[in-house]
Amino acid sequence: MKNENADYFVHPKGLCETSRVGKNTRIWAFAHVLPNAQLGADCNICDNVFIENDVVIGDRVTIKCGVQVWDGIQIMDDVFIGPNATFTNDRFPRSKQYPEEFLRTVVKSKATIGANATILPGLTIGESAMVGAGAVVTRSVPPFAIVVGNPAKIIGYTEGATGAANESTLAPISDTPAVISTSVSGVTLHTFKAVPDLRGSLSVGEFEREIPFSPKRYFLVYDVPTANTRGEHAHHECHQFLIAVRGSIRVAVDDGKTREEITLDRPNMGLYLPPLTWGVQYKYSSDAMLLVFASDYYDSADYIRDYGDFIKLVQSGKQV
């Protein structure tokens, strides 16, 4: 039935103590929503869901049966939460002992959390990320990442805004110098001359000729556990050029409209990332070493570390 003078539905055997419920939201049998919770429009709150007070839920959210949403949890628009998924808000719970403030957990827009997954407190599940069934999430999940297992590890990335984040379909890379455009705006994959020799092989590239800028900084990334990711940011002004000098690395690049994944696995291959390109490196092989050239000295203000901020900036067409 519909609540009297309300434009949302509560099942006769459901209990909704808050009036802050959006239009056309449906709350089913044996669900219990506490007085200070806030629910958006067009949500579907299934049987046996419990929603505590300090909870904000966006629009078009689906929460399947048997889920408890505790104080300190925010769920943004278009999120799907599978049956019996478990949220937590206290790392060291004791009976009758309460922290001064519960850790904040945020599930960002269009994310999916599979059945029976467990989300530890204080984490962020990024935009359009997918948490596999039964996963135990102990670290924040980057936007679009697919994580599975205990502890949860990244195994891939979901499709992006207008392009699938599959392995790049670029032409096979040879030893002949070449530059190949990707589907992501301004991102190019470079092949440098390789000279094999009995004494050892050599590969060479020239700045401002083959690499489209002159660097002011370099850094090396190595000894990265395969479960971890690097990058997860964009730059306002800085250009970057990535070379896997040893081993293999998967790179996801994103211009806010299209995403693509590319594997760097040869020392005569390089990937150019212009400003306002979101980049993530993951699936480092155990021996991987990544060399990155940067066009500018380190400046923390040049980093865009939140994917939502990156999207807003791209859509505005401005650099700040």
pTM of structure: 0.76
Lowest mean pLDDT among 144-148, 238-242, 294-298: 144-148
Residue 129 in contact with residue 114, Cβ under 8 Å? no
Q: Say whether pLDDT at 320 is over 50.
A: no
Q: What is the mean pLDDT of residues 101-128?
A: 95
Domain that holds residue 63: 1-158
| Rounded Cα gap, residues 214 and 297, in angstroms | 12
Q: 221-230 burial, b for 16+ CB within 10 Å, e for fewer?
A: beebeebebb
Q: What is the pLDDT of residue 205?
A: 87
pLDDT tens-digit map of 162-183: 444 445 555 555 667 789 999 9
| Rounded Cα gap, residues 177 and 211, in angstroms | 12
Q: Say whether pLDDT at 116 is over 90.
A: yes
Its sign, for the CA torsion 288, 260, 173, 189, is negative
Whether 101 and 66 map to the same domain: the answer is yes
Confidence at 99, pLDDT banded by 50, 70, 90: confident
> Which amino acid type is present at position 116?
N
Q: Check 11, 32, 233, 236 and give the catalytic one.
A: 233
Known catalytic membership, residue 190: no
Whether 7 and 148 map to the same domain: the answer is yes
Q: Does residue 308 sit within a domain?
A: yes
Lowest mean pLDDT among 134-138, 150-154, 224-228: 224-228
Supply the mean pLDDT for the chain: 89
Residue 240 sits in a domain of what CATH number? 2.60.120.10
Going across the sheet that includes 73-75, the strands are: 38-39, 55-57, 73-75, 105-107, 124-125
> Which amino acid type is present at position 73?
I
Whether 199 and 139 map to the same domain: the answer is no
Whether 61 and 208 map to the same domain: the answer is no
